[in-house]
Structure 1
């Protein structure tokens, strides 16, 4: 346990949570949002409030539930062992989908350097699977190397996005922004819903917000406050950066771009600067992919350690890398890349994004609905319970809205994937029952 003098303060924790959220999630969103128009920026306002409620609720769960498993452990407090499995399973599937989506983003930003990638969907597919394989193999050396690379590379997207949010206004043209506001003449409600899944994608990862509570000074105050401050700052940067792009790059150009942040810097300065930013984004994508792939390998390992996943996922090398589990994950990623191949990178990215967001809402809702029982078990004060329960309920309602906003296809296929998980759990439950009966004899 860290000594009081070594514990992290509010500013340090806020910085860590901010960096964790601001990875590659934003990298393709300006192009995706531009397909609706500038009016979809209103989605950021709704998502910012929803994300702050989710971050606060997860911070409370992390403070009072110290069991291994994160969201899966939270959900089990209210819904039992089956929900631990389903939360782990759906989160695992979500991260597989997210890995492919990030690889698609990286290929989009690589195209200015390797034009061959955009000459056909097969070439794009080759680029996607190559990136997935390279980053997966790089993870074979264990968590230390992965952590060092990811911590450094994430700044490749954070710095350009924050820089654009601050300095891009010098190039902002209100007439360009006005022309991009609502080109398809959508109703306000429809426009907001069209961007909810996209904007929620950018905040995925806030479930890890309370993971460092044991190393924080005055965690009851600083953990929730850091989560709210980090989420607020991230939302401001996201809203500012995507708004600025809409006022610099014409909407019809932005909507078809495979590298929107590189494109806007080309408009602001020149092609050389644009390519530098594009290169930094590629580095950030690869670093983010490294981190998420290793995280997913650890999720499956944790489930295997308690016999909820096949034991092959728990096998590790001398470098503490679950290579067998990683190879299984790579096969799933390659299969998904084949199934979602599309002539348009933006279209492929959006399909993956909507599916990932829907599936990730399953463990979100399972774990967030356990907040009240976690608080009861820890005998918190009446006022703390009341405030957290209200905010947690709003987080669940927003998560359900996120499900609705993903669209019928994502909900249909995501539901099938989720229900398929119960087939696996049926075998696990039967195995455990047989073991219990044998032990009772």
Structure 2
């Protein structure tokens, strides 16, 4: 998400900037995440501890870079300054892959909840996959015609997608008030392992993707030297704690076997306490939030490679636009990639397809999370940004976090992520040779 570079008439204060940060981070993955976390038990809490610590380190790095380099062109421009055009391209391409894969995850999760209202979807993986692809291409067609959701619509969908969080926290409080600690799964220290913690962290990181968007350009906030870092850190903390509260509540308060098989975890959690009507309300909220988010991300995954084409890092074909200005070729390629993953989710051989898609999206985004702090250290050494103990500690912590997340994501997700990321390198080499000849 990119904010306008021109100075707006009304600038954001701490509250407005923090709200923007939270809006960027909180997505729809958290609605399905508890089912994937069910096998991890109490390791979910330690995994969230790793994710929150690493996210705060990353947030600080992005906040410092945004404060001192607000007009560098975002992460790609900053990495280009620090490490050169090739690492900047690989990072941008990997982020595009992550976003396209995330669109598949949004479709799978949204249709999974839709199955609560339309039972045939829950009974037929094939029909569910077809529906997911249909929704994806419908929104792709709408975006290609230049239709954009209004700001008011985005605000409404943001509020709607937070309602399930409120209901889950309410039910958690009621259960604890009624049954006390007996409601919580027994704690067994012997089940806590580093492998379990990093595995859970790789999944929980998906709920924090988007924190790189948090560090807004300095010219849209009041007193940016103080507001940007504070809003970034505060928004990251609040988003992380909210997601931790929701996922942790379901993992520790629902039977693991039931949670692992749930196609709509939040709805299944509140229904026994509040009634089926509230389960339906949550289901509707999740569907609106999911497909509302998908509408915006369809546009994002189209614009990312088109922007690289405009910078002559990809062949001009990727930047072709129709009469309404939509990047038609880019949006088609992005849609095809997401559709393949959605179709694979219907295969009986991939019982954990949704979890694999989450890990694939996370592993491809880790390129940015690994190289951004490296770039920050390089720029600090050159004196481009002030070198401070806080920046060095945050950058080292972010690097360690990214490496541990790679380990937790598992071999298959990391290897497929590397393959998809490497697929863009030949295109970059071709364009680099063309630029050298001109």
Instruction: Tell me which residue corresponds to 2:417.
Output: 414
Structure-2 change in CA distance of 1:313 and 1:154 (3 Å): farther
Q: Secondary structure at the match of 2:149?
A: helix
Structure-2 change in CA distance of 1:171 and 1:285 (3 Å): same
What is the correspondence of 1:209-358 to structure 2 with a 5 Å cutoff?
A: 209-343=214-348, 347-358=352-363
Instruction: Tell me which residue corresponds to 2:12.
Output: 8
Structure-2 change in CA distance of 1:74 and 1:386 (3 Å): same
1:92 aligns with 2:93: no
Instruction: Tell me which residue corresponds to 1:439.
Output: none
Q: Any unmatched runs of 5+ in structure 1?
A: 436-441
Of 400, 421, 424, the residue aligned with 2:403 is 400
Is residue 150–residue 290 contact of structure 1 (8 Å, CA) maintained in 2? no
Is residue 249–residue 267 contact of structure 1 (8 Å, CA) maintained in 2? no
Q: More displaced, 302-311 or 89-98?
A: 302-311
Rounded to whole Å, the distance in 2 between the matches of 1:345 and 1:168 is: 32
Structure-2 change in CA distance of 1:328 and 1:418 (3 Å): closer
Q: Any unmatched runs of 5+ in structure 2?
A: 1-5
Structure-2 change in CA distance of 1:68 and 1:62 (3 Å): same
Structure-2 change in CA distance of 1:132 and 1:425 (3 Å): same
Structure-2 change in CA distance of 1:30 and 1:274 (3 Å): same
1:203 aligns with 2:205: no
| Aligned-pair CA distance for 1:225 | 0.9
1:362 aligns with 2:374: no
Structure-2 change in CA distance of 1:345 and 1:217 (3 Å): farther
Structure-2 change in CA distance of 1:233 and 1:420 (3 Å): same
Of 59, 64, 67, the residue aligned with 1:63 is 67
Q: Secondary structure at the match of 1:370?
A: helix
Instruction: Tell me which residue corresponds to 1:175.
Output: 182
Task: Name the TM-score, length of structure 1 as normaliser.
Answer: 0.90
Which stretches of structure 1, 4 residues or more, deviate above 6 A after TM superposition? none
Instruction: Tell me which residue corresponds to 1:139.
Output: 143
Rounded to whole Å, the distance in 2 between the matches of 1:156 and 1:345 is: 32
Of 161, 164, 169, the residue aligned with 2:165 is 161
The number of equivalent residue pairs is 430
Supply the RMSD in Å over aligned alpha carbons: 2.3
Rounded to whole Å, the distance in 2 between the matches of 1:321 and 1:68 is: 25
1:127 aligns with 2:120: no
Task: Name the TM-score, length of structure 2 as normaliser.
Answer: 0.91
1:51 aligns with 2:58: no
Q: Secondary structure at the match of 1:6?
A: coil
Is residue 18–residue 232 contact of structure 2 (8 Å, CA) maintained in 1? yes
